[in-house]
Amino acid sequence: TQLLLIVGQIVLDSLVAPPTSGLTCPVVCWQEGEAAGSHHENPTRTSKVPPVKVVLLVLGSLLAAALVVICRLSTHIVQIKANLQSLTEENNALRRKLPGAEDEAFCEDGWVRFDGTCYYFSTNRLSWEESRKSCREPGAELVTVDTREEQYFLRSVLNRKMKTFDDMFWIGLTDSLEEGRWIWVDGSDLSESLQFWSQKEPDNWTGENPAGEDCVRMGMEGGGVPMKNWYDNDCTSAQKRICEKKLQRPKKK
């Protein structure tokens, strides 16, 4: 962008510079005022910048300036996010050191806290069954969506973590026991008022597995409909996962 600005300035200087040839009177005479008796300007001595070139030059300069601003803003936003994450971690560490903090409930490192619950968003990929086993190891379970607020929270986190459309996360919902009857891992049926299926989902597609798609993953919204980001998928497919468990309390000494 700095190069564009320099080039633009050079072009501007070349366009507005006075002509050095084609004058009917020598430059010295013109400087000394020998042509002072003439009140009419000779058209052959007038240099005007073509309007089209001026417009293009101005637009080019504005575009270069806009690119500089966008670049700086993007860098600034990335830095702010990094600083916010660092401050959050420092705040959590300091809170644990405060008097009485040993009795306060907390989430372990790597887990995200929301409304009395800790959530873990994995980076590795496993099948749905393997994901459930992995969640259970630290005393958690594949996530069950109980409220719209929880769905909104999960969607917000995934929007920051997902790199591509297929970069999705398993949740604890399946109809593997009875086709069409969706049950959460805690044994409760899927509520009619708390369903966030994406457009044309669930479709039980058999293109990759003749058994169909009996497990649910969460990702980006399909069809641009807010919050609608559930997709059924082949349970043997390797996906990331969302685990949840209640806030932890320090063990009594």
Span 62-118, pLDDT tens digits:
988 888 889 788 777 877 876 776 677 667 666 655 545 445 788 999 999 999 999
Residue 124 CA, chain-centre distance (Å), reads 20
Residues 156 and 222 in one domain: yes
The domain in which residue 86 lies consists of 2-94
Domain boundary among 60, 94, 128: 94
What is the tally of structural domains in the chain? 2
Percent helix, strand, coil in the chain, to 5, is 40, 15, 45
Per-residue tokens: 179: 């086709």
- Burial profile 216-246: b = 16 or more Cβ within 10 angstroms, e = fewer: bbbbbbbeeeeebbbbbbbbebebbbbbbbe
Q: Quote the pLDDT of residue 52.
A: 84
Domain check: are 141 and 234 in the same one? yes
Mean pLDDT score across all residues of the chain: 80
Q: In CATH, what number is assigned to the domain containing residue 136?
A: 3.10.100.10
pLDDT per position in the chain (253 positions), as tens? 554 455 455 545 554 455 444 444 343 333 444 444 444 444 444 455 568 888 888 888 898 888 888 978 877 787 787 677 667 766 766 665 554 544 578 899 999 999 999 999 999 999 999 999 999 999 999 999 999 999 999 999 999 999 999 999 999 999 999 999 999 999 999 999 999 999 999 999 998 889 899 999 999 987 778 899 999 999 999 999 999 999 987 665 5
Place of tokens 């044994």: 187
219 and 152 share a domain? yes
Pick the last residue of a domain from 44, 59, 94.
Answer: 94
